[in-house]
Amino acid sequence: CYFNEPNSQMGVLIFHDNWGGVDLGDGGFDDPTHLGSGEGVYIEDCTFIGNGLGGNGATDASYSGRFVFRHNILIRQNLGTHGTEVGPYRGVRSYEIYNNQFISDTAVMDKGIYLRGGTGVIWGNTFSGACCGSISGYKDAISCDNFRSFNNFEIWGMANGQNPWDENTDQYGHATIDQVGRGVCLDHIRGSPPINQRTGNAAWPRQQAEPVYVWSNNWTPVPNNPGYYISSNQNVVQIGRDIINNGNTPMPGYTPYGYPHPLISGSSKAVITDVNRDGSPDFLLQRNGRDETAIWYLNNNVLIDGDGGPTLPNGWSVRDTADFDGDGHPDYALFHPAAKLTAIFYMSGPTVIGGAWGPTFPAGWELVGVSDFNGDGKPDYLLYKALTRQTAIWYLNNNVLIGGDFAPSLPNHWSLVGIADFNRDGHPDYALSNTASGESAIWYLSGPTFIGSAWGPTVSEGWGLVGTADFDGDANPDFLLYNGGSHETAVWYLNNNVFVSSAAGPTLPAAWGWPAL
């Protein structure tokens, strides 16, 4: 999905005002939080473009809204929530915000994530400005607030240490109803005006402490603009009690829901390689929410064996594999989205035997694939800029940048899922997927130049096109499909762009998937 919001329009509103059949969002606070369960609204693989002024953001949530915001790109935009403040309705209930890129490249924005209530997790995100000391970026990565601390709202009143809706254990640090770091209520609240059903009047609903956990985010401070990784504007929201900076350690017991979501399984991209050099493609897998990798060896579409692969450094992802050092073994092409760094893990089978830095990317660009575009026998980087949908090629000699070219821009709603020589002219081509319609297409290239296109087969609902490789050894690239609900894979055998036949592939374990982007 794509949101261009230059006039401060709102992106996605998350309201669960009839959760459990109870209106005003009251029902959402009766039920446990269930992080990682698949409950709530999922927003993933989207681009949000703002104007750098803040205000309305990529999201807003109230009426006990629950949402998961992951694998998105925010350009000059932030993410927001509402608390229990105005009117009889409740605020945000929960959020899981992870593996997103926040980029404010032309402005200084006050915050990247704005929390006014609820509980959840925030991890694996990057917050950055332009490069090279530019005065741009996010002053605070995460900012917490409580509007009832400075407003006497008609229904809920002011959080002044005496309000019956609040805990009031002390004047300045007491918990307030539905604030940041609070979750399920032991007492049910109903009606307008609201009434605690246990006490029959306005009373603290014995709301349980459920702190927000924050870990493994990468925030680049704005030069000459002091800010905070986590800030709180009100005493009732206490860092260390209500929101916890957990360093690089995940929240105990938390496991993220499988990515991509089963309903939009086409949004992911597989890494397909030949680790054991038997001429058959193999799968490179990663444990969901973790840095462990594994290799599944295939013979055509059949799983024959497996190995553990290296554990990735925190913040890095595998974007593709290729033989960078010319020793006959495919190596890992790594990318760090926050720092825009690249690196190579030199491999011998599943074992790391060395490493080297690659070139650093400009702001706004990411590594999406590797192939030999100029025919010199050396793998090259394929870059993509979400803001303009432009692709570019960086020519490499091993890990060293030696040149570059702009390549074609992708149409809206289409994504690159593979690079292979479909028309067998010796030049790598783009395999594109439209996850909304299920359509596929091949863009034929000559080096960096677009020379033609053809429609490919349309993927069935529930399945997504995630990669390309020659599975049956006929020298024609084939399509790899994935069903995010059942974790099944399938191979569609092609002759150029034409579907020939298909076969079922191995089913992935629920805890494993394709490498995180």
Domain CATH for 397? 2.120.10.30
- 418 and 334, same structural domain? yes
- 481 and 332, same structural domain? yes
Q: pLDDT, tens digit, for every residue of 133-149? A: 789 999 999 999 999 99
Q: Is residue 253 part of a domain?
A: no
- How many Cβ atoms are within 10 Å of 388's Cβ, its own excluded? 11
Residue 3 pLDDT level (bands cut at 50, 70, 90): confident
Q: Is residue 146 part of a domain?
A: yes
Average pLDDT, the chain: 93
Q: Is residue 161 part of a domain?
A: yes
- 493 and 389, same structural domain? yes
Strand, helix or coil for residue 212 = strand
Q: Is residue 252 part of a domain?
A: no
Q: What is the pLDDT of residue 265?
A: 47
- 347 and 239, same structural domain? no
How far apart CA 144 and CA 55 sit, in angstroms, is 15
Q: What is the pLDDT of residue 260?
A: 64
Q: pLDDT, tens digit, for every residue of 202-256? A: 999 999 999 999 999 999 999 988 899 999 999 999 999 999 999 999 999 998 8
Q: Is the pLDDT of residue 517 over 70?
A: no
How far apart CA 135 and CA 318 sit, in angstroms, is 31
- Region of poorest pLDDT, from 29-43, 262-276, 494-508: 262-276
Residue 9 pLDDT level (bands cut at 50, 70, 90): confident
- 219 and 368, same structural domain? no
Query: What share of the chain in percent tops pLDDT 70?
Result: 97
Among residues 422, 466, 476, the alpha carbon closest in space to that of 446 is found at: 422
Q: pLDDT, tens digit, for every residue of 96-137? A: 999 999 999 999 999 999 999 999 999 999 999 987 778 999
Higher pLDDT, 486 or 447: 447
pTM above 0.85, yes or no: no
State how many domains the chain has: 2
Q: What is the pLDDT of residue 500?
A: 98
User: Which two three-digit tokens encode residue 455?
Assistant: 């429609």
Q: Is the pLDDT of residue 514 over 90?
A: no
- 291 and 205, same structural domain? no
Q: What is the pLDDT of residue 8?
A: 65
How many DSSP H helices and E strands does the chain contain? Answer: 0, 43
Asked whether the beta carbons of 3 and 171 are under 8 A apart, the reply is: no
- 442 and 346, same structural domain? yes
Query: What share of the chain in percent tops pLDDT 90?
Result: 77
Q: pLDDT, tens digit, for every residue of 470-511? A: 999 999 999 999 988 788 999 999 999 999 999 999 999 988
Asked whether the beta carbons of 156 and 85 are under 8 A apart, the reply is: yes
Residue 264 pLDDT level (bands cut at 50, 70, 90): low
Q: Is the pLDDT of residue 454 over 80?
A: yes
Backbone torsions φ then ψ of 77, nearest 5 degrees: -145, 160
- 67 and 121, same structural domain? yes
How far apart CA 494 and CA 447 sit, in angstroms, is 23
- 144 and 19, same structural domain? yes
- 350 and 463, same structural domain? yes
Query: Where does a domain end: 245, 273, 299?
Result: 245
Cα–Cα–Cα angle for 190, 97, 233, nearest 5°?
A: 70
> How far is the CA of 62 from the CAs of 143, 154, 230, 294, 343, in angstroms?
17, 17, 22, 40, 42
Full residue range of the structural domain in which residue 367 is found: 262-513
Q: What is the pLDDT of residue 294?
A: 96
Query: For the range 506-512, what are the long-range contacts, defined as Cβ-Cβ under 8 Å and sequence gap of 24 or more?
Result: 506/283, 506/296, 506/298, 506/301, 506/302, 506/303, 508/285, 508/482, 510/258, 511/255, 511/287, 511/288, 512/285, 512/286, 512/287, 512/288, 512/294
- 277 and 237, same structural domain? no
Cβ within 8 Å of residue 160, ≥6 positions away: 171
- 150 and 69, same structural domain? yes
Q: Is residue 169 part of a domain?
A: yes
User: Which two three-digit tokens encode residue 353?
Assistant: 């035997």
User: Which two three-digit tokens encode residue 197?
Assistant: 């059903």
Average pLDDT rounded to a whole number, residues 85-100 = 95
Residue 418 pLDDT level (bands cut at 50, 70, 90): very high
